Amino acid sequence: MTDKEISRAVIKRLPRYFRYLGELKDAGVEKISSQELSQIMHVTASQIRQDLNNFGGFGQQGYGYNVKHLYDEIGRILGLDREHNLIIIGGGNLGSALAGYGNFANRGFIMKGVFDVSPSLAGQYIRNIPILPMSALPEFIEKNNIDIAVIAIPKTQAVAVADTLVKCGIKAIWNFSHVDLEVPDDVVVESVHLSESLMRLSYNLSRVGFGEEPDND
Amino acid sequence: MTDKEISRAVIKRLPRYFRYLGELKDAGVEKISSQELSQIMHVTASQIRQDLNNFGGFGQQGYGYNVKHLYDEIGRILGLDREHNLIIIGGGNLGSALAGYGNFANRGFIMKGVFDVSPSLAGQYIRNIPILPMSALPEFIEKNNIDIAVIAIPKTQAVAVADTLVKCGIKAIWNFSHVDLEVPDDVVVESVHLSESLMRLSYNLSRVGFGEEPDND
């Protein structure tokens, strides 16, 4: 079975499987049954079997899943079997927070540079990542094989910056600006709209007062 | 029609409608047709009519939607018609970034305090928000009517902190730690798992190379 036959709903759940399998692997667990995984992840065992059957024959009757094998396979499907070079646009608090996350590097997401419009930041470092002026962007992207750009600037500038990134050959944008970016078909965008997440929390909070079941994430 | 009859799929889309309607309102637009909104939001006009019909009778044939009325109504449903008092657990980069977001305050989410285990931070401020020691948490929550707590600390400490927050009466947790929190039924959790978002981007990036349509957000 090829990767492309896997449904989007399953793909959306893969990072969570990957996280739990990684924790089990780190704890030295070699195999696990769908029932055990079900208890840890609070998902039905039948959902787990259905999801993981997409990867063919890993679960063996009476044996369970080989944790490391399944972890590696899901990582491969998620594109984590190779390194990605990233840049961050915006050296403010959020850009700095993202630049400083050690966990991203552990997963093969290597932060190479932070770009900021403020001349006063240029030449400084966040951890060991250099802050550079926007004028250095095109050359830096080409020389450092950058494939992912993170947008962590106010929405008023985000659209123009996204256009520039696409012109420089960027194929993937992780967008934290509160705006929907329009990009060519061969460019992928994943947006993290924090305000909208907070509004969903607010909505669910207003529901629990009425004795309704919250839609927990 | 009461709020509880609105489906979860529609609720998930409400924050995006709220954002676009807010921008139209700020631009002085008083009414808009489903066709016009469709073009701006890149959603079909029929989807828009279906979604917004949940709020009854706002769209008038040949007139369109009253922007301000619809904006206010969606805001009310999202629980944005009243203020929420928030605390942030964790005064690191991410906690500081969240404490510094002016946009949250504009929506009625008021950051009241940041709590950190590091004694060296206590007594400092992020913008005008005090950083306090964890020991001050229970009293602060009660005195300041806190209803939302933001968890922006490493996953190893997040579970214990969530337990403490629930004991202190917190009913809503905005969780940035990469762990699934288990809370009582009357507590709502909205998680922002940044690593998982980045993995979805990586997955989609690995697909475009094969000429497949990216699953853009």
Closest CA to A189 of B198, B209, B13: B198
Q: Collect all residues of chain A within an 8 Å Cβ-Cβ radius of residue B8.
A: 215
- For residue B41, the chain A residues in CB contact (below 8 A) are 180
Measured between CB atoms, which of B14, B174, B188 is closest to A216? B188
**Phi-psi sector, A122: left (phi>0), alpha (psi -120 to 50), beta:** beta
Rounded (10°) angle between helices B67-77 and B8-26: 140
Q: Quick one: average pLDDT of A106-115?
A: 94
Residue B79's nearest CA partner among B9, B171, B165, B183 is B171
pLDDT level of residue B6 (50, 70, 90 thresholds): confident
Is residue A158 pLDDT above 60, yes or no?
yes
Domain positions in chain A are 3-77, 84-196
Q: Which residues of A120-137 are buried (b: 16+ CB within 10 A; e: fewer)?
A: ebbeeebeebebbeeeeb
Contact B178/A103, CB-based, under 8 Å? yes
For B75-133, the pLDDT digits (tens) are: 999 999 999 999 999 998 899 999 988 788 888 999 999 999 998 888 999 989 999 99
pLDDT > 60? residue A89? yes
Distances (CA, A) of A164 to A87, A136, B88, B185: 13, 12, 35, 47
A172/B210 touch (CB, cutoff 8 Å), yes or no: no
The percent of residues in chain B predicted with pLDDT above 70, rounded, is 90
Of A190, A195, A216, the CB nearest to B107: A195
Q: What distance in Å separates residue A209's CA from the closest CA in chain B? A: 8
Query: How far is A163 from A145, CA to CA, in rounded Å?
Result: 18
**How much is the pLDDT for A168?**
96
Nearest CB to A208 within list B171, B174, B194: B171
* pLDDT score for A183: 95
Q: Are B206 and A96 an interchain contact pair (Cβ–Cβ within 8 Å)?
A: no
Strand partners, B65: B32
pLDDT of residue A61: 64
Mean local confidence (pLDDT), B8-30: 92
pLDDT per residue over B123-173, tens digit each? 999 989 999 999 999 999 999 999 999 999 988 999 999 999 999 999 999
Q: Determine the distance in angstroms separating the CA of B148 from the nearest CA of chain A, rounded to an integer.
A: 9
Q: How far apart are CA B88 and CA A180, in angstroms?
A: 27
Residues B15 and A196 sit within 8 Å (Cβ to Cβ): yes
Find the residue in A nearest to B172 (Cα).
Answer: A205
pLDDT given for residue A76 in this prediction: 92
Whole-angstrom distance, CA of residue B30 vs CA of residue A24: 55
Tens digit of each residue's pLDDT (9 = 90 or more) over A37-88 = 999 999 999 999 889 887 765 666 667 889 999 999 999 999 999 999 999 9
Q: Note whether B201 contacts A148, CB cutoff 8 Å.
A: yes
The pLDDT, as a whole number, for residue A209 is 60
Helices (H), chain A: 8-26, 34-41, 45-52, 67-77, 93-99, 102-106, 137-143, 155-167, 194-208
Closest B-chain CA to A209: B186
Distances (CA, A) of B190 to A11, A184, A216, B187, B198: 20, 31, 6, 10, 18
8 A C-beta contact, residue A9 and residue B197: no
How many contacts does A have with B, using Cβ atoms within 8 A? 194
Share of chain A above pLDDT 70, in %: 90
The interface predicted TM-score (ipTM) is 0.89
Partners of A204 on chain B (C-beta within 8 Å) are 172, 188, 190
pTM for this model (two decimals): 0.88
Selected residue of A190, A210, A213, A215 to mutate for chain B interface (largest B Cβ count, 10 A) = A190
* Fold equal for B3-77 and B84-196: no
Nearest-by-CA chain A residue for B152: A97
Q: What is the pLDDT of residues A169-197, one digit of tens each?
A: 999 999 999 999 999 999 999 999 999 99
Environment class of B153 (CB within 10 Å of its CB; exposed 0-12, middle 13-18, buried 19+): buried
The model's confidence at residue A112, banded by pLDDT at 50, 70 and 90, is very high
- Contact between chains at B199 and A80 (C-beta distance less than 8 A): yes
Instruction: Give the distance from residue A93's alpha carbon to the nearest chain B alpha carbon, in angstroms.
Output: 5
Pick the CATH number of A84-196 from 2.40.50.100, 3.20.20.150, 1.10.150.120, 3.40.50.720: 3.40.50.720
pLDDT greater at residue B27 or residue B3: B27
Q: How far apart are alpha carbons A68 and A48 in whole angstroms?
A: 16
Q: Test B180 with A205 for CB contact under 8 angstroms.
A: no
Fold of A3-77: Arc Repressor Mutant, subunit A (1.10.10)
Best residue of A83, A88, A201, A217 to probe chain B, by most B CBs closer than 10 Å: A201
CA-to-CA separations, A143 to A83, A109, A115, in angstroms, rounded: 16, 17, 15
In 3D space, the residue among B109, B103, B111 whose CA is nearest the CA of residue B22 turns out to be B103
Structure confidence at residue A217 (pLDDT): 54
CA–CA min distance A168, chain B (Å) = 16
